[in-house]
Chains A and B, each alone.
Chain A
């Protein structure tokens, strides 16, 4: 399956390398963002669907 990459890219390696580069940088940036998020915030975000603040909902008025 890798033969096609080496054979078909004549003259256009720049595009493949460029795409790989962008993806790599992008992936690193997202990973850094993830590492920097605080645990309390993650918990707050995960609980969002469970508290919809309807009046008869028990969690509606908790701070």
Chain B
């Protein structure tokens, strides 16, 4: 048999590389802007399109799906071709994949600031974009499996299993978490409500971390680290064990995001147990990476790519140890909703994802441009300022998290809250937030230096768009003796590998989701909980549009410090009409689950116009546009119909009466405001959002009044 000559496609790798750097800078800049807004709210430039609640999702989506996403495709397209000794299956599909993904990112950049959002964290994009993501993901899958089928290497290296698991699991997660009922071109309601929606969202959210930020990066680590160190991976057996254990265990751990909420206790416990188990496979990966460098640590001194790799792997080890610790109920009760979590995710994002991406870029760009890196000194500078940036980011955030949580839980000897005003605790941590933004700025500056360095590298070289290679074709399968262990056979069969990975992740998914989604007794209903009025429903959609849930939770946990501060702890039955749930995951401001009727309408009006009028020193931005903008009621009918389809008991034909009811309730609030000398027309957005805020958590109180 003659060796075949073929060419690796480097151009597509280069394109994804450029996109990684550009979106990285954009995503991190948005992150810096919102970090500054947390101590200087006027940094939103008085503009609704650049206000925290709307652009915080832009930051998370840009760094996860644009920066990390493009980096994944860069790494996969480079390593897949070489591990399989084949060019990508189709240049056309590569091209569609690249431009399709950039189009999706651009549509996110446009729609999120406009307030078009589902409010599901890391899945905020509305339904048409969800469909586009699905299509492009399928294109990626066809291109990947097409390449696998025409490979010239019989066995699939461990990196490729990680890619396959990533592909199949992200597909499952994206579809299940995007089941929405469209109301208009850019508005939809989640099909699940309340606690069920929360469970689905955090099953998704947690596994997006697992299968978008972790498994593809482990795959890339298994390819690029041996390349950089020029030695094989420490233990291939360990990589097999930790691959299967990781994908099996990760999928169960989602409920640790919902501890002390109204999620059934057994599901919480299951999530905790599997989270603890996760330490083993996670550390398996880290140890395998670090031990690959044993006997080669002298190289780390001279080689900046290895320095980035070592710090990246260490950050991975720290974040994956911290994660299980945070899932212990005791620690979680203290850490959840605080800046501790922000520190935790940024150790992972900046350290693990960021540094691995930089290492790969510094290694790969000179190679495909057939030149040397423009400046090793600048790369070394990037390494140090990046590392310092992570420290200056994470340490103040840990400090802020501990400080604020301790203050919020502190009682006086007489048994009353020492800091009853939430704002006091916020003001205490502002210096830490300032330091955090300095750390973020350092990290961003390092990335800009890298962009300059890589651009100069590319300019001094010439892109080898098609790299020549030669390998023997595969023998037809029937000539191979059926020998070897099961796993060896599995490594030859990509489709079986895909099915095996799918089955492994579906086990945890079913055990965890099915009881809560199907057994109604898991969600005890409360008779006094009624559907929202049309005006409240519109107000709720404004709450979603403005991204209020990015800073305000809507779930009171059963702690004395919380029931004293906010009121009765939340019950599952209170959320049965909440499509989507709005529990939030961070308390930058106080919880709002029991906000209704706490203050008068005038208080809310003034507070939304300028929060500092009612709460001096508040870091909440002004929402003055709510006062000037008219409420759009053109979709109210359709919204009522959609909610009824989803099971909310609006009477048949109510949609025709809804407009009247809405006007009546709005007029009532406007009249009430007029008594406090606030002149506002009843058709303004602020009226609707006040109606919603005044409803929050009041149904359960109505029950009490009635039973007295």
Q: Are B470 and A61 in contact (CB under 8 A)?
A: yes
User: Which residues of chain A from 1 to 31 have a CB within 8 Å of any chain B CB?
Assistant: 1, 4-5, 7-9, 12, 15-16, 18-19, 22-23, 26-27, 30-31
Q: How far is the CA of A50 from the CA of B264 in the complex (A)?
A: 49
Query: Which one of B226, B252, B265, B268 contacts A19 once the chains associate, using CB atoms below 8 Å?
Result: B252
Is there contact, CB below 8 Å, between B471 and A15?
no
| B window 231-245: CB within 8 A of A | 231-233, 236-237, 240-241, 244-245
Name which residue of chain B comes closest to A54, CB basis.
B469
Q: What interface size band does chain B fall in?
A: 35 or more
Would you call A30 and B233 a contact (CB within 8 A)? no
Query: How many inter-chain residue pairs (CB < 8 Å) link A and B?
Result: 133
- Asked if residues A46 and B233 are in contact (CB atoms below 8 Å), the reply is yes
B43 at the interface (CB under 8 A from A): no
- Whether A55 pairs with B153 at a CB distance below 8 angstroms is no
- B610 shortest CB reach to chain A, Å: 44
- List chain A residues, Cβ under 8 A from B488: 37-38, 41
Give B506 Cβ to nearest chain A Cβ, in Å.
11
Given contacts A26-B248, A30-B244, contact A53 B226 (CB under 8 A): no
- Is there a chain A Cβ closer than 8 Å to B3's Cβ? yes
Of the residues B227, B265, B486, contact of A33 by C-beta under 8 Å: B486
**Do A49 and B269 contact each other (CB < 8 Å), given the known contacts A19-B252, A33-B240, A33-B485?**
no
Interface contact B328-A23, CB-CB below 8 Å:
no
Chain B residues within an 8 Å CB radius of A37: 237, 240, 484-485, 487-488
B599 at the interface (CB under 8 A from A): no
Overall SS of chain A's interface: helix
- Whether the Cβ atoms of B470 and A44 lie closer than 8 Å is no
- A55 CA to B469 CA, complexed, in Å: 5
Q: A36-B485, A52-B85, A54-B8 are in contact. Are A16 and B237 (CB under 8 A)?
A: no
CB distance from A27 to the nearest CB of B (A): 7
Q: Are B244 and A49 in contact (CB under 8 A)?
A: no
Contact of B269 among A9, A18, A33 (CB under 8 A): A9
State the CA gap A16–B273 with chains docked (Å). Answer: 9
Q: Give Cα A1–Cα B329 distance, bound, in whole angstroms.
A: 7
B518 to chain A, nearest CB (A): 13
Beyond A26-B244, A31-B241, whether A55 also contacts B470 by CB under 8 A is yes
Nearest CB in chain A: distance from B597 CB, A: 33
B155 at the interface (CB under 8 A from A): yes
Q: Which interface residue of B3, B79, B273, B467 has the most chain A CB atoms within 10 A? A: B273
Given known pairs A5-B269, A36-B485, the reply for A49 and B226 (CB within 8 Å) is yes
Q: Which residues of chain A are near B230, meaning CB under 8 Å? A: 50
B268's closest neighbor in chain A, by CB?
Answer: A8
Question: What is the CA–CA distance of A19 and B508 in the complex, to the nearest angstrom?
Answer: 8
Per the bound structure, the CA–CA distance linking A49 and B157 in Å amounts to 8
CB distance from B256 to the nearest CB of A (A): 12
Q: Is B191 an interface residue when CB atoms closer than 8 A count as contact?
A: no
Query: Does the CB pair B487–A33 fall under 8 Å?
Result: yes
Partner of A38, one of B85, B233, B467, B484: B484
Interface string of B90-115 (1 = CB under 8 A from A): 00000000000000000000000000
Cα separation A25 to B277 with both chains bound (whole Å): 15
CA distance A8 to B265 in the complex (A): 5
In the complex, whether B223 has a CB less than 8 A from a CB of chain A is yes
Who on chain A is nearest to B238 by CB?
Answer: A34
Nearest A residue to B222 by beta-carbon distance?
A: A49
| Least Cβ–Cβ distance between B238 and chain A, in angstroms | 9
B248 contacts which of A8, A23, A34, A55 (Cβ < 8 Å)? A23
CA distance A4 to B329 in the complex (A): 9
Q: Which of A34, A36, A42, A49 contacts B159 (CB 8 A)?
A: A49
Q: Which residues of A contact B268 (CB under 8 A)?
A: 4, 8
B270 contacts the other chain (CB 8 A): yes
Chain A minimum-CB-distance residue to B504: A26
Q: Is the CB of B240 within 8 A of A60?
A: no
Also in contact, A4 and B272, with CB within 8 A (given A36-B487, A52-B85)? yes
Q: How far is the CA of A55 from the CA of B5 in the complex (A)?
A: 9
User: How many angstroms from the CA of A33 to the CA of B244 in the assembled complex?
Assistant: 11
Which parts of B479-510 form the interface with A (CB within 8 Å)? 484-488, 491, 504, 507-508
Structural contact, B273 and A5, CB atoms closer than 8 A: yes
Q: Which of B236, B329, B484 contacts A46 (CB 8 A)?
A: B236
Query: Known: A49-B226, A55-B470. Contact between A30 and B245, CB under 8 A?
Result: yes
On whether the beta carbons of B485 and A38 are closer than 8 Å, the reply is yes
Q: Which of A12, A34, A50, A55 contacts B241 (CB 8 A)?
A: A34
A22 to chain B, nearest CB (A): 6
CB of A58 to closest CB in B, whole Å: 12
Chain A residues with Cβ below 8 Å from B508 are 19
Cα separation A53 to B83 with both chains bound (whole Å): 9
Closest A residue to B152 using CB positions: A53
Which residues of A are found within 8 Å of B269, using beta-carbon distances? 4-5, 8-9, 16
The answer for the CA separation of A40 and B159 in the assembled complex, in Å, is 19
Instruction: Kindly state the separation between the CA atoms of A27 and B484 in the bound complex, as whole angstroms.
Output: 20
Measured between beta carbons, the chain A residues less than 8 angstroms from B468 are: 54-55
Are B158 and A52 closer than 8 Å at their CB atoms? no
B470: which of A5, A46, A50, A53 is its contact (CB, 8 Å)? A53
Q: Give the residues from 313 to 345 in chain B that come closer than 8 angstroms, CB to CB, to chain A.
A: 328-330
Point out the residue from A9, A36, A49 that lies within 8 Å of B223, measured CB to CB. A49
Given contacts A44-B155, A48-B155, A55-B5, 5 further A-B contacts (CB under 8 A): A34-B237, A34-B241, A37-B487, A49-B222, A52-B8
Q: Which 6 A-B pairs have the closest CB atoms?
A: A8-B265, A36-B485, A46-B232, A52-B82, A12-B266, A33-B487
What are 21 A-B pairs with beta-carbon distances under 8 A? A4-B272, A8-B265, A8-B266, A8-B268, A12-B266, A15-B266, A16-B273, A19-B270, A19-B273, A30-B245, A37-B488, A41-B488, A45-B157, A45-B236, A48-B153, A49-B159, A49-B222, A49-B226, A52-B85, A54-B82, A55-B5
Which of B's residues lie within 8 Å of A, judged by CB? 3, 5, 8, 79, 82-83, 85, 152-153, 155, 157-159, 222-223, 226-227, 230-233, 236-237, 240-241, 244-245, 248-249, 252, 264-266, 268-270, 272-274, 277, 328-330, 467-471, 484-488, 491, 504, 507-508, 511, 515
